[in-house]
Structure 1
Amino acid sequence: LKDQGILAKDVGFNALTIPSDRFICARQQTEPNQSQFIVLDLASPMQKIPLICPTLTESAIMNPVIKVIAIKEGQKLQTFDLEMKICLKTIFLQEYTTFWKWISVNVIALVTQTKVYHWSMEGNTQLNEIHARHQALNGYQIINYHVDHTKKWSLLIGIRVQNHRVLGVLQLYNTETKISQLIEGHVAAFASVKLGDNYEPSNLLIIGTRRLKGGTLRILEIGDPPLNNEPFQEQTLELLFPSEIQNDFPVCLQINEKHGLIYLITKYSYLHVCTIESMQCIYMGKLSNANTFAATLDTSSHGILSVDDNGQVFSTSMNTENIVPYIINTLQNKALARKVALRCNLSGAEDLFIEEFNQLFDSGEYVAAAKIAVSAPKGVLRTSQTIQRFQQHIPRTTTALAIYFDVLLRQGKLNRYESLELSKRLIHTGKNQALEHWLKQAKLENSEELGDLLRSSNPVTASSIYLAIQKPKKVIINALFRLIIAIIRK
């Protein structure tokens, strides 16, 4: 940041914010009665937006997505469009705002000594009171605020120093029941993650806590589970804190929902990477020799961007191709490797899935074997050899191949070879309506071979397939074929 004109004295929790992987906003006091804010557009690292305020502006927060900034001067709050250079909204509060944060592209959360408000940028909407600030948070510094994706749950996070220890308290609030719950914790975040064989994502609350001895990472499901979902059982993981650093505690928590990973960073820059579903720590390391005070999710790499007290910005991400081999070879945990590979569709555990498939198939458990074949990462088992194997094993009741295709259709879209084989089977058994149904549901992959297969029995559908794969000559040939057939029949 020094290279961008942001000095060390302007780096810290109260002076610099990183609302997303798009912007960094730093406050500089240039003169006794003048402040300057420097906004760095991380999408264009060399682009720096200086914003000079004629008065002693206390705080500024950048919109996480667009070039709109909010500025606070006492009880006066304003938002400005940096590109159009106009003031968008102004509001005066009767109370002093102790913490504020953009919680979406259109809404700012405001926390006072007594209440939590949401300030919408849309229309003429004024402040919307969300809930009262719990009295147990009196004397605590508010450091973060979150709202879950359903907007039914909010989370206020505060810390304070007591007896040389940093204590943390969370106020979890439900907008439907209007009930607050106090939870011990230093950092927390909501996550919407699909777990196991559930059809819908689970709404989770993840909490990081430092206690007198050690620390914990806790995951629990909030609200009622979605219909037909298995409830998530609360899990707790013991976190390792070096014994020589007694006053270290979690300061940042980010969730990689795509890969089901938790990134927890402590004040002394220790990074813990943990899995959500199996609740295990797969990596711990030190990011910097300086203290870390802010971090955000890097949406492009699904890693994190963090800032330390020296003004260094670190980009940390997982090498997805090495995660599974690392878990197998270094952590010696094949069960965890299988779960991570399955969840994230990562390579490295192919032998585990092939071995499991063979065991299930040889024991006649065709449904379970089909599920493994369909879900194995990178389509390692979705091959012509797998279909041939199911074709060769026909019990007296339902064929194993029918079971395999049923599982495939339930899970998603068939690949080119699977689509062709299923279509051959349906045509052979006279189930043309079923074939039409799966085509309309986009469950089959269009291909020239599939069009050729249907040209005699269903020329109209064949033409649609040719058009979809951009084979206009085939459409003309198919039309001529239909004309010739019509003439012959006459």
Structure 2
Amino acid sequence: MKTTETSESVLYWKWLDGRTIAFVTGTAAYHWSVEGDATPEKKFEIEAETRQVQIINYDSSKDGNWLFLQGIAKNAETQKIEGVLQLYSVQHKRYQPKMNAHGGCFAEVTLSGRESPSTLFCFTRSDGNSTKLFIVEVGGGNPPHKIQAEVPFQNSNDFIVSMVPSAKYRCLYAFTQSGFLFLFDISTGKCLFNRQVSKVKFFCLQNAEKKNKCGFVTTMFLSVADEETGGVLTVDRGGQVALFNVDEKNFVSYITNVLGDSDLGEKFAELGLGGVDVLQQKFETLLRQGNYAGAAEFAAKCPALRNEQTIAAFKKIQPQPNQPPPDLQYYQLLLKQGPLNKLESVELCRRILQFKPDAGKQRIEQFLKENKLEKSEELGDVLAPFDVKLAASIYYGAKIPQKTILCFIQLGQASRVVEYCKQENYTPKWPELLAHVQQMRRDDVKEFAQSLVDQNFLSAADVMTVLLGSGRNDVEKTTEFLLDYLRNRGDREEDAELQTKLLEINLRAAPQVAKAILESEDYKFTHYDKTYIARLCESARLFDCALELYENLDDIKRVLQMGLGSNAFKPDFLLKFFGDLTPEDALSCLKDLLKYSNTGTNLQLVVEVAKRYSEQLTVEKLIQLFEDFEWFVLTLYLFSFFGRYF
């Protein structure tokens, strides 16, 4: 909230923009910024007037270099209302003499043949016989744009109250004191339309003596541009709110057929303001005449013709000798005048890559640097088979995150994906994304999976499901991921399932890898399901691993028999294994080995175990064990055990 005080009465005020208030006193015009501690800034002084002037408008050009003040006053002799208009140049700090003129406004319009908008000062002025509209370019133009055209008032005493420009339609909406609406073409000043739209006068005279002040009362408070429609919003003295705008569908046909001005209708059609049929007819005529260059030039300057049908028409034409194809000539004209639209960008790049892919990619890169192409998903799709990096830049610029991410993956830049998703506030289906990495850049999948787990986008179990599911069954990469993940976490009870799964998938697919994990000093896992893994080891014929994991004596005896029968055990392993058993279990296993050793294949092992662990097993129990079997076994044992003393 800000306040300010003036020593004079404020005769008029308005918002110039969202930050600046303009107000007018009897001697000067001021601008006051609502930001910070700024105080009102005097812009210019007002020429003294002997008459009482009612201020009805004040405005600034878009660049702030020009200001005008609009008022009305009564002519003492004729008692007619006259305009009081003053134009001021901020840059030169001087103003033109006051004019008897009405309806002042600034218009910012890009005129035909110009590349940038021009500032036009518009007003109406009467010479006593007629009223003329003046449209004058200020602050530039060589030569400056100047138009003078007659205003066809039905009542000679009528005058323009306000004018509102429309950059979209390059027109001026003008409202008169008698409630008439006029529509003027800015480029020619021609009156396109006029009709009474309100029965209530926008201004009315009052008895000056009774009021003891200026004899006019503003009854139409506002006419303001509506940017969405390109129209104007008004309120009249009776409180009626109205929106007036051009009927774009019928605008060109109205000018062409009702006003009978086909040239002007064509100019509006070229701006994309309807009348496509008019443009299409002329375009087809040029093609039939064989004037392909003229047709291309005409289509290039008409937004309504820059479509798929026009491109298709040029493609059908056979190239002339020593001349580039007509469609490429068309694209060249378009590129000279500015950026291509979405369709044109796609079709041009497709055409370039069709002929010279390598050189074409360089041309496309140059067009992108010059902002000549509109980035879109379709353009990225065209480029992707030829250059993934180039396609990635298109998807990135067009805000197509899913395909941008896929390009990152193909380029080996999966590490950028998580940060990119955060930047774009995009949440992909992470499992599907991981599957894409596994498919396209398998070597990167472990690192990418770890990053997803670190960011809590997926769990380790989710990663395992993706890498092993849907027929992928990537045991190798799942193993790499789980080994790193579990080693970094340490041997935790809550990871029992993951430890079990890690061993399971390798016992089924790569038993020697599982054996290496079980025997490794780097991975000391203890929480996996030992009985389940022991059974899998047994099925994989890793009998030594199964022996170390089984706790049930019957399981141990069974595996001993199977392993010995297939020579799967190393002697040193078995001797150590028996040393880890309790004496009772060891004797039971030895008895079992003797019992089922019909050929004597197990006797050597039994002897070696008895020799090494005689103290733990005791000589008495060993002798008893042998006494339960044939004497030759006992003799063999005694000889082996005591042979060193003979």
The normalised TM-score by structure 1 is: 0.71
Task: Name the structure 2 match of 1:103.
Answer: 16
CA-to-aligned-CA distance 1:442-478 (integer Å, 9 cap, x gap): 5335566654543443232234556654554975996
1:462 corresponds to which of 368, 383, 391: 391
| Alpha-carbon separation, structure 2, partners of 1:281 and 1:206 | 14
Q: Is the Cα contact below 8 Å between 1:466 and 1:474 reproduced in 2?
A: no
Higher relative contact order (CA 8 A, sep 6+): 1
Question: Across the two proteins, how many residue pairs are aligned to each other?
Answer: 388
Task: Name the structure 2 match of 1:296.
Answer: 224
Amino acid at match of 1:241: F
TM-superposed CA distance for 1:381, in Å, is 5.4
SS of the aligned residue for 1:89 comes to: coil
2:277 corresponds to which of 315, 331, 350: 350
TM-superposed CA distance for 1:364, in Å, is 4.2
Question: What does 1:184-195 align with in structure 2 at a 5 Å threshold?
Answer: 184-195=100-111
Q: 5+ residue gaps in structure 1?
A: 1-87, 485-490
**Shift in alpha-carbon separation, 1:417–1:277, aligned structure 2, 3 A:** closer
Q: Does 1:170 align with 2:76?
A: no
Q: Is the Cα contact below 8 Å between 1:99 and 1:143 reproduced in 2?
A: yes
Q: Does 1:285 align with 2:195?
A: yes
CA-to-aligned-CA distance 1:88-142 (integer Å, 9 cap, x gap): 1121112222222221222222222221111221111112111111135753222
Q: Is the Cα contact below 8 Å between 1:347 and 1:377 reproduced in 2?
A: no
| Alpha-carbon separation, structure 2, partners of 1:105 and 1:455 | 45
Q: Does 1:375 align with 2:301?
A: yes
CA-to-aligned-CA distance 1:138-172 (integer Å, 9 cap, x gap): 53222211110111111011211111211112111
TM-superposed CA distance for 1:266, in Å, is 0.6
Q: Is the Cα contact below 8 Å between 1:137 and 1:158 reproduced in 2?
A: no
CA-to-aligned-CA distance 1:68-106 (integer Å, 9 cap, x gap): xxxxxxxxxxxxxxxxxxxx1121112222222221222
Q: Is the Cα contact below 8 Å between 1:321 and 1:348 reproduced in 2?
A: yes
| Alpha-carbon separation, structure 1, partners of 2:304 and 2:27 | 52
Amino acid at match of 2:146: E
Q: Is the Cα contact below 8 Å between 1:173 and 1:180 reproduced in 2?
A: yes
| Alpha-carbon separation, structure 1, partners of 2:52 and 2:344 | 65
Identity of aligned residues (%): 29
**Shift in alpha-carbon separation, 1:459–1:190, aligned structure 2, 3 A:** same
| Alpha-carbon separation, structure 2, partners of 1:425 and 1:145 | 54
| Alpha-carbon separation, structure 1, partners of 2:144 and 2:352 | 40
| Alpha-carbon separation, structure 2, partners of 1:260 and 1:447 | 30
2:151 corresponds to which of 239, 242, 266: 239
Amino acid at match of 1:288: S
Q: Does 1:431 align with 2:360?
A: yes
Task: Name the structure 1 match of 2:113.
Answer: 197
Q: Does 1:159 align with 2:69?
A: no
TM-superposed CA distance for 1:319, in Å, is 1.6
Task: Name the structure 1 match of 2:165.
Answer: 255
| Alpha-carbon separation, structure 1, partners of 2:264 and 2:85 | 31
**Shift in alpha-carbon separation, 1:424–1:306, aligned structure 2, 3 A:** closer
Q: Is the Cα contact below 8 Å between 2:59 and 2:67 reproduced in 1?
A: yes
**Shift in alpha-carbon separation, 1:329–1:94, aligned structure 2, 3 A:** same
| Alpha-carbon separation, structure 2, partners of 1:279 and 1:247 | 21
Task: Name the structure 2 match of 1:265.
Answer: 175
TM-superposed CA distance for 1:433, in Å, is 1.0
| Alpha-carbon separation, structure 1, partners of 2:33 and 2:73 | 30
**Shift in alpha-carbon separation, 1:360–1:222, aligned structure 2, 3 A:** farther
Q: Does 1:275 align with 2:185?
A: yes
Task: Name the structure 1 match of 2:259.
Answer: 331
Structure 1 vs Structure 2 CA RMSD: 2.9
**Shift in alpha-carbon separation, 1:137–1:352, aligned structure 2, 3 A:** farther
**Shift in alpha-carbon separation, 1:224–1:309, aligned structure 2, 3 A:** same
SS of the aligned residue for 2:4 comes to: strand
| Alpha-carbon separation, structure 2, partners of 1:106 and 1:460 | 44
**Shift in alpha-carbon separation, 1:154–1:448, aligned structure 2, 3 A:** closer
Amino acid at match of 2:329: I
Task: Name the structure 2 match of 1:444.
Answer: 373
| Alpha-carbon separation, structure 2, partners of 1:143 and 1:425 | 59
Task: Name the structure 2 match of 1:409.
Answer: 335
Q: Is the Cα contact below 8 Å between 1:346 and 1:377 reproduced in 2?
A: no
Q: 5+ residue gaps in structure 2?
A: 203-219, 412-436, 443-646
CA-to-aligned-CA distance 1:415-435 (integer Å, 9 cap, x gap): 336523444325623232111
SS of the aligned residue for 1:135 comes to: coil
SS of the aligned residue for 2:365 comes to: helix
TM-superposed CA distance for 1:219, in Å, is 0.1
| Alpha-carbon separation, structure 2, partners of 1:371 and 1:312 | 47
The normalised TM-score by structure 2 is: 0.55
Question: What does 1:137-152 align with in structure 2 at a 5 Å threshold?
Answer: 139-152=52-65
Q: Does 1:128 align with 2:41?
A: yes
More moved, 144-153 vs 295-304? 295-304
More moved, 140-149 vs 432-441? 432-441
Which has the greater radius of gyration? 2
Q: Is the Cα contact below 8 Å between 1:416 and 1:447 reproduced in 2?
A: no
TM-superposed CA distance for 1:202, in Å, is 0.9
Amino acid at match of 1:436: E
Higher helix share: 2
| Alpha-carbon separation, structure 1, partners of 2:66 and 2:379 | 49
SS of the aligned residue for 2:145 comes to: coil
SS of the aligned residue for 1:265 comes to: strand
**Shift in alpha-carbon separation, 1:166–1:385, aligned structure 2, 3 A:** same
